[in-house]
């Protein structure tokens, strides 16, 4: 027998929690499913902060312009306007809810990061902004009696009825068996897919399952080729790729090669404050030029007391590996960090599948374009999480949960299990993605990757492995299709950016990306097609 609720939210990061609160405030029953503990998400690992227009020398137009420039011509201006204007309101709301942003003399302390023209980044506890936002949102969500947080409930697939998403199938953590739960609508807030790559700053839960589930349900996916690689992940053998925040360069950190030379002046006049994609490629070029596996981030010119206060988590983590950020040069190299593409949505989180909404990194709202501006992701989760929740309520007023016959699930794969085969498949995919679909791409490497993925896909895969290989194939396919370099996508065989490619890649189950189908889309027109 199926469980029943009014709305289902999958994921408990900033977007999922904010969507849940918006739903509950309408009086609806909300079930939040997450495959780990409630606080485990990309949000919790966000160090850089949240960008918002609140300082006296800043304004919305400047923040919008910085976002559009970083997005390399593919941002939706209306989405960017919504992000910036609504963002101020929702961050103020967070402050009212008790979030503890860092202050200087009682006033909010703003910092600057790469590609921002003003100091507009708010931090909490130095470098633990995401963790503090999740804490505040969980406290607020638990005040809503209609929100049921269900941790360790791994969602397997979406349930469909007459072309509409009406629920999910998940593994019940108590029964250890699959169960169905039906609702008026589902909001996917499952985060990104950084774990597709061998080296990533993302937590283990960031495997992209939400994107794959939406794809198999018939949702359109947009701009999957645009992957952001963070330039400065701690690079120590047999250690996780711990993120060294963008803010470290914003505060004056210098990049040096293994010969202790500053090198960013060879690549960009903005030096260490150039956009992430440029800094990442510059580091790769310098590593190749010097024959090294890393470069160094040098913070030694800054005061030790300041560094301990400003970057407490980074300071303590580096200390574990025998590094003092105030005295030692820190070995760093790029790692996968953020997906600009995802489930194609309108300005209110509606996907192209009725009853299915998405917010946060799992979605493609048009905010980030080809390259996300630093510290816009937490803001996006807040704004579009709230918008998706409000839209789901409004669109579903005449619907009753569980009123339609559920169709047979479209996913055909064996149930997940911790097996040597599944582990081997993912390791193979991660290595191919890093080596052939990584920071530098070309036709030959992408075609070779797709041939290997096609071979893997013919195996008898588990659900999670099928999701994994499907996403890898989508990213490589879109990267092969886009014969230019733009934002986070760089083709060594097509190194220039061209106006004719100022369009979005769209993928849907059963369709092919084809040059003749290159069309731009107006996200605000999506609602009429639902």
Instruction: Please answer whether residues 113 and 374 qualify as being in contact, where contact means their C-beta atoms are separated by less than 8 angstroms.
Output: yes
* Residues 259, 349 within the same domain: no
Structural domain contains residue 9: yes
Would you place residue 401 in the very low, low, confident or very high pLDDT band (cuts 50, 70, 90)? low
Domain boundary among 308, 336, 364: 336
Distance CA 336, CA 369 (A): 17
Instruction: Please answer whether residues 417 and 156 qualify as being in contact, where contact means their C-beta atoms are separated by less than 8 angstroms.
Output: no
* Residues 165, 307 within the same domain: no
Distance CA 417, CA 166 (A): 26
* Residues 318, 377 within the same domain: no
Beta strands in 270-339 (DSSP E): 295-298, 330-339
Q: Which of 160-169, 242-251, 444-453 has the lowest mean pLDDT?
A: 242-251
Q: Which residue has the tokens 């690549």?
A: 267
Q: Is 223 left (phi over 0), alpha (psi -120 to 50) or beta?
A: left
Q: What is the pLDDT of residues 6-35, one digit of tens each?
A: 999 999 999 999 999 999 999 999 999 998
Domain boundary among 358, 375, 395: 395
Q: What is the pLDDT of residues 309-353, one digit of tens each?
A: 999 999 999 999 999 999 999 999 999 999 999 999 999 999 999
CA 215 → CA 362, 433, 466, 508, 517, distances in Å? Answer: 11, 20, 12, 7, 19
Q: Can you say whether the dihedral through the CA atoms of 157, 161, 163, 166 is positive or negative?
A: negative
Would you place residue 451 in the very low, low, confident or very high pLDDT band (cuts 50, 70, 90)? very high
Would you place residue 209 in the very low, low, confident or very high pLDDT band (cuts 50, 70, 90)? very high
* Residues 73, 98 within the same domain: yes
CA 102 → CA 44, 105, 140, 486, distances in Å? Answer: 17, 10, 20, 35
Would you place residue 126 in the very low, low, confident or very high pLDDT band (cuts 50, 70, 90)? confident
Would you place residue 467 in the very low, low, confident or very high pLDDT band (cuts 50, 70, 90)? very high
Instruction: Please answer whether residues 24 and 148 qualify as being in contact, where contact means their C-beta atoms are separated by less than 8 angstroms.
Output: no
* Residues 29, 147 within the same domain: yes
Q: Would residue 276 show up in a list of annotated catalytic residues for this protein?
A: yes
Q: What is the pLDDT of residues 472-483, one digit of tens each?
A: 999 999 999 999
Instruction: Tell me what the mean pLDDT of segment 353-365 comes to.
Output: 97
Distance CA 152, CA 168 (A): 15
Would you place residue 492 in the very low, low, confident or very high pLDDT band (cuts 50, 70, 90)? very high
Instruction: Please answer whether residues 37 and 135 qualify as being in contact, where contact means their C-beta atoms are separated by less than 8 angstroms.
Output: no
Give the CATH number of the domain where residue 252 resides. Answer: 3.90.700.10
Quick one: pLDDT at residue 276? 83
Structural domain contains residue 41: yes
* Residues 116, 47 within the same domain: yes
The whole domain housing 72 covers 3-193+340-395
Quick one: pLDDT at residue 44? 46
* Residues 258, 330 within the same domain: yes
Find the catalytic residue in 241, 276, 310, 387.
Answer: 276
Q: In terms of pLDDT, which residue wins out, 383 or 513?
A: 383
Quick one: pLDDT at residue 522? 42
Contacts of 514 (CB under 8 A, 6+ apart): none
* Residues 144, 172 within the same domain: yes
What pTM, to 2 d.p., does this model score? Answer: 0.91
Quick one: pLDDT at residue 459? 87
Quick one: pLDDT at residue 410? 47
Q: Is the predicted pLDDT of residue 4 greater than 80, yes or no?
A: yes
* Residues 25, 151 within the same domain: yes
Phi, psi of 436 (to 5 degrees): -120, -15
Distance CA 321, CA 465 (A): 33
Quick one: pLDDT at residue 516? 40
Structural domain contains residue 188: yes
Q: Is the predicted pLDDT of residue 116 greater than 70, yes or no?
A: yes
Structural domain contains residue 129: yes
Q: What is the pLDDT of residues 509-522, one digit of tens each?
A: 988 664 444 444 44
Strands 30-33 and 147-150: parallel
Mean pLDDT of the chain: 89
Give the CATH number of the domain where residue 357 resides. Answer: 3.50.50.60
Q: Is the predicted pLDDT of residue 414 greater than 80, yes or no?
A: no
DSSP string, 363-394: EE-SSSTTSPPTT-HHHHHHHHHHHHHHHHHH
* Residues 353, 309 within the same domain: no
Contacts of 353 (CB under 8 A, 6+ apart): 163, 164, 165, 214, 217, 218, 219
Distance CA 386, CA 464 (A): 29
Q: Is the predicted pLDDT of residue 435 greater than 60, yes or no?
A: yes
* Residues 302, 288 within the same domain: yes
Element (H, E) at 32: strand 30-33
């Amino acid at each position: 027998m199926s469980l029943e609720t009014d709305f289902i939210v999958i994921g408990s990061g900033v977007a999922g929690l904010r969507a849940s609160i918006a739903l509950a405030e309408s009086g609806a029953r909300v079930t939040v499913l997450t495959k780990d503990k409630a606080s485990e998400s990309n949000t919790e690992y966000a160090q850089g902060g949240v960008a918002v227009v609140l300082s006296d020398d800043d304004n919305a137009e400047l923040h919008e312009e910085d976002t559009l420039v970083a997005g390399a011509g593919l941002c939706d201006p209306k989405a960017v306007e919504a992000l910036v204007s609504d963002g101020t309101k929702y961050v103020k709301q967070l402050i009212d809810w008790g979030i503890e942003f860092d202050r200087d003399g009682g006033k909010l302390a703003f910092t600057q990061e790469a590609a921002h023209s003003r100091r507009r980044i708010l931090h909490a506890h130095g470098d633990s902004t995401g963790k503090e936002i999740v804490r505040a949102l969980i406290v607020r969500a638990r005040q809503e009696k209609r929100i049921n947080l269900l941790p360790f409930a791994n969602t397997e697939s979406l349930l469909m009825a007459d072309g509409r998403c009406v629920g999910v199938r998940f593994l019940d953590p108590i029964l250890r068996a699959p169960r169905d739960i039906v609702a008026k609508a589902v909001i996917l807030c499952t985060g990104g897919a950084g774990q597709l790559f061998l080296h990533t700053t993302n937590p283990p839960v960031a495997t992209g399952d939400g994107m794959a589930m939406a794809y198999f349900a018939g949702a359109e996916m947009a701009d999957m080729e645009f992957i952001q690689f963070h330039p400065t992940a701690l690079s120590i053998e047999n250690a996780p790729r711990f993120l060294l925040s963008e803010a470290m360069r914003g505060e004056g950190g210098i990049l040096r090669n293994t010969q202790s030379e500053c090198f960013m002046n060879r690549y960009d006049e903005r030096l260490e404050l150039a956009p992430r994609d440029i800094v990442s490629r510059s580091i790769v070029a310098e590593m190749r030029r010097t024959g090294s596996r890393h470069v160094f981030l040098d913070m030694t010119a800054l005061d030790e007391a300041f560094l301990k206060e400003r970057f407490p988590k980074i300071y303590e983590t580096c200390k574990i590996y025998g590094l003092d950020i105030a005295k030692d040069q820190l070995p760093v190299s790029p790692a996968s960090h953020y997906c600009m593409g995802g489930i194609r949505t309108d300005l209110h989180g509606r996907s192209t599948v009725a009853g299915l909404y998405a917010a946060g990194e799992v979605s493609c709202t048009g905010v980030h374009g080809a390259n996300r501006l630093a510290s816009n992701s937490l803001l996006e989760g807040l704004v579009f999480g709230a918008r998706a929740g409000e839209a789901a309520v409004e669109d579903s007023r005449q619907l009753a949960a569980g009123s339609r016959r559920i169709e047979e699930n479209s996913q055909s794969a064996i149930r997940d299990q911790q097996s040597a085969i599944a582990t081997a498949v993912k390791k193979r995919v991660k290595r191919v993605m890093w080596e052939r679909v990584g920071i530098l791409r070309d036709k030959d490497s992408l075609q070779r990757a797709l041939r290997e993925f096609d071979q893997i896909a013919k195996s008898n895969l588990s659900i999670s492995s099928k999701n994994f290989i499907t996403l890898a194939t989508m990213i490589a396919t879109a990267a092969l299709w886009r014969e230019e370099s733009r934002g986070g996508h760089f083709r060594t065989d097509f190194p220039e950016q061209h106006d004719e490619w100022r369009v979005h890649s769209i993928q849907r189950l059963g369709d092919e990306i084809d040059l003749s189908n290159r069309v731009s889309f107006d996200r605000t027109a999506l609602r009429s097609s639902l």
